Structure 1
Amino acid sequence: MSVHQQATVVDGLQISNWSRPVLEELRTGGVSAVNVTCAVWENASETIRSIAQWLELANRNPDLIFLATSGADIEAAKQLNKIAVFLGFQNTSPFEDDYRYVELFHRLGVRIAQLTYNNQNLLGGGCFETEDSGLTRYGRVVVAEMNRVGMLIDLSHVGYRTSRETIEASSVPVAITHSNPLWFFDTPRNKPHDVIQPLVDRGGVIGCCLYPTVSGGEHVTIEGFSAMVARMVDQYGPSHIGLGSDCTRGWDHEFVGWLRHGRWQPTAPEQAPTWPNWPNWFTGPEDFPRLTEGLLAAGLSNDTVAAVLGGNFSRLFTDVMDNTKEGAHV
Structure 2
Amino acid sequence: MLIDALQCGHFSREVFSQLRQGGVSAVTVTCGFWEDPMESFDSLGKWRDLVGENADLVALARTPAEIEAVAASGRTAIVLGFQNTDLFGNRIRLVEMFAELGVRVVQLTYNNQNSVGGSCYEAEDSGLARFGRELVREMNSAGILIDCSHVGERTTLDTIRHSQKPIAVTHGNARSVFDHSRNKSDDILHALRESKGVIGCAVYRNITGDYFCASARNWAEMVAKTVEIAGIDSVGIGTDYGHDNGPADYAWMRMGRWTRHVDYGASAPGKPLKTPRAEWLAEGVSGLGKIAGGLKEVGFHDDEIAKLTHGNWMRLYGETFRQG
TM-score (norm 1): 0.92
Contact 1:218 1:277 in 2 (8 A): no
What is the CA-CA distance between 1:305 and the residue it aligns to? 1.1
Q: Partner of 1:87: helix, strand, or coil?
A: strand
Alignment of 1:1-330 (within 5 A): 8-217=1-210, 220-222=213-215, 223-267=217-261, 274-283=273-282, 284-322=284-322
TM-score (norm 2): 0.93
In structure 1, distance between residues paired with 2:58 and 2:311: 20
Contact 1:217 1:277 in 2 (8 A): no
The residue type equivalent to 1:288 in the other structure is L
Question: For 1:208-255, what per-residue CA distance to the aligned partner results, in whole angstroms no more than 9, with x for missing partners?
Answer: 111111101477333332112112223332211101111111222221
Q: Partner of 2:241: helix, strand, or coil?
A: coil
Contact 1:218 1:278 in 2 (8 A): no
Deviates more, 1:230-239 or 1:270-279: 270-279
Contact 1:58 1:65 in 2 (8 A): yes
In structure 2, distance between residues paired with 1:67 and 1:209: 23
Q: Partner of 1:85: helix, strand, or coil?
A: strand
The residue type equivalent to 2:278 in the other structure is P
The residue type equivalent to 2:117 in the other structure is G
The residue type equivalent to 1:302 in the other structure is D
Task: Give unpaired runs (5+ residues) of structure 2.
Answer: 264-268
Contact 1:256 1:273 in 2 (8 A): no
User: Which stretches of structure 1, 4 residues or longer, exceed 4 Å deviation after superposition?
Assistant: 268-273
Task: Supply the RMSD in Å over aligned alpha carbons.
Answer: 1.9
**Inter-CA distance 181–268: structure 2 relative to 1 (3 Å threshold):** closer
In structure 2, distance between residues paired with 1:107 and 1:306: 30
Contact 2:8 2:242 in 1 (8 A): yes
- Aligned pair count reads 317
In structure 2, distance between residues paired with 1:125 and 1:323: 30
Deviates more, 1:165-174 or 1:287-296: 287-296
**Inter-CA distance 225–208: structure 2 relative to 1 (3 Å threshold):** same
Contact 2:83 2:107 in 1 (8 A): yes
What is the CA-CA distance between 1:285 and the residue it aligns to? 1.6
**Sequence identity of aligned pairs in percent?**
41
Contact 2:37 2:88 in 1 (8 A): yes
**Inter-CA distance 265–274: structure 2 relative to 1 (3 Å threshold):** same
